[in-house]
Structure 1
Amino acid sequence: MFGSIERYAPAARILHWLVALLVLIVFPLGVVIDFVKEDVKLTFYLLHESFGFIVLWLMLARVAVRLIYPPPPHVPMPKLQQRVADTVHIGLYVALIVQPLSGFLATNAHGFPLSWFGLVDVWSPIGKSPDIAPILSVVHYVTGWTILILFCAHFGGVLYHHVIRRDETLGRML
């Protein structure tokens, strides 16, 4: 199936798909929080924040894995496409670290320390800080929508390469 293509390291592939799955859980949870009934709102926050915290740590692991095992070279494509792909990947890495970090800090700044799945209280590095809480919340909100845009660009690129170009780009991550 994969022929002679160079694939991402196994750890990179596993982390990629775990983060993708979690983002597909965390993003919708975050979007609907404002629309759910009050009696379940705290459960939605708990799940959104807890899964988001996992995304943060998985992304930090992805950075470490990427430094240890650099990605394979691109399949043959024009330089502009390579630059776009690299820009989207870097954007996703940055956004997927900034997003959960800003959410975690915003929650802390609003005076609600994280209780990971209601099991473990996570140390609050900033504590209640009403002056910066709104700023962190805006960063979290804007970064969330940025991730959606970057995800669409990434997924569009995957479809383009797999369906139209019929090259082995997708196979590098499977």
Structure 2
Amino acid sequence: MALRSDNTGFGSITKSLHWVMAALFISVFAVGWYMDFLPLGMAKLEWMSRHKSLGVTVLMLAVLRILWRLYEPTPAALGKHSIERLAAKLGHLGLYAVMIAMPLTGWIMSSAANFPVSVFGLFTLPNLVAPDQGLFETLRTAHFILSWAIVVLVLGHVAAALKHHFIDRDATLRRMLPASGDQDGDIPASNTAKENS
């Protein structure tokens, strides 16, 4: 499998980033909701630290993924209708936006609360703003709203991939699967027969 994507399929680096980001999204969301139900204490603080570390990892990988996407060609969307291709583009832009905005609001929120962000105990990020309780509350609300925006965007992304796979029967989902060599034109023979009949 090629490292880089081309006009007909995704490379192994893009696929790896995609699935690692997916796993991180689930982990950050799960840890975030779990820690919210814990009473204030050492256990909650430890889970908050894990949540922040994972969030910073998401931010770093999101920046890397955006730079990588700008560097290499991207296979064309396989939607049959222009509205589908537009929706796919807007959905991807939305996901990139929340991948950046979500951890940034968390980082600034921690700064406003005067709690520096330690990343897995390896290094500590600088505070981006001075302590400010009002700003902290505003950012906490924004962070919460963004968490649900991520849920909506990810569910939409998954639903679209499944629709392409099971209804349109094109290679949209297959070409993002690990170790898949499927290209845009790989359509099951049964579909080709239907189209020719």
Q: TM-score, normalised by structure 1?
A: 0.91
CA contact (8 A) 1:113 1:127 kept: no
Equivalent position SS for 1:132: helix
Kindly tell me: are residues 75 and 153 of structure 1, through their superposed partners in 2, closer, same or farther at Cα, counting changes over 3 Å?
same
Matched with 1:28 is 30
Kindly tell me: are residues 76 and 111 of structure 1, through their superposed partners in 2, closer, same or farther at Cα, counting changes over 3 Å?
closer
Counterpart mapping for 1:59-70 below 5 A: 59-70=62-73
Name which of 98, 106, 127 aligns with 1:103.
106
RMSD value over aligned CA atoms?
A: 1.7
For the pair 1:90 / 2:64, whether they are aligned, the reply is no
Task: Name stretches of at least 5 consecutive residues in structure 2 with no aligned partner.
Answer: 1-6, 178-197
Task: Name stretches of at least 5 consecutive residues in structure 1 with no aligned partner.
Answer: none
Letter aligned with residue 107 of structure 2? F
Matched with 2:152 is 149
1:23 Cα deviation from its structure 2 partner: 0.5
1:106 Cα deviation from its structure 2 partner: 0.5
Matched with 1:16 is 18
CA contact (8 A) 2:78 2:85 kept: no
Equivalent position SS for 2:134: coil
CA contact (8 A) 2:56 2:103 kept: yes
**Equivalent-residue separation in structure 2 for 1:17 and 1:83 (angstroms):** 23
1:71 Cα deviation from its structure 2 partner: 1.6
Higher-Rg member (1/2): 2
- For residues 97-155 of structure 1, the C-alpha deviation after alignment (integer angstroms, 9 at most, x for no partner) is 10011111101111101011233222222242223211221211111100000001000
Equivalent position SS for 2:43: helix
Q: Give percent identity, aligned residues only.
A: 33
Matched with 2:8 is 6
Structure ranking higher on relative contact order (CA contacts 8 Å, 6+ apart): 1
**Equivalent-residue separation in structure 2 for 1:14 and 1:32 (angstroms):** 27
1:76 Cα deviation from its structure 2 partner: 4.6
**Equivalent-residue separation in structure 2 for 1:162 and 1:154 (angstroms):** 12
CA contact (8 A) 1:161 1:170 kept: yes
Q: TM-score, normalised by structure 2?
A: 0.81
Structure 1 residue ranges (4+ consecutive) displaced by more than 4 angstroms after TM superposition: none
CA contact (8 A) 1:105 1:126 kept: yes
| Count of equivalent residues | 171
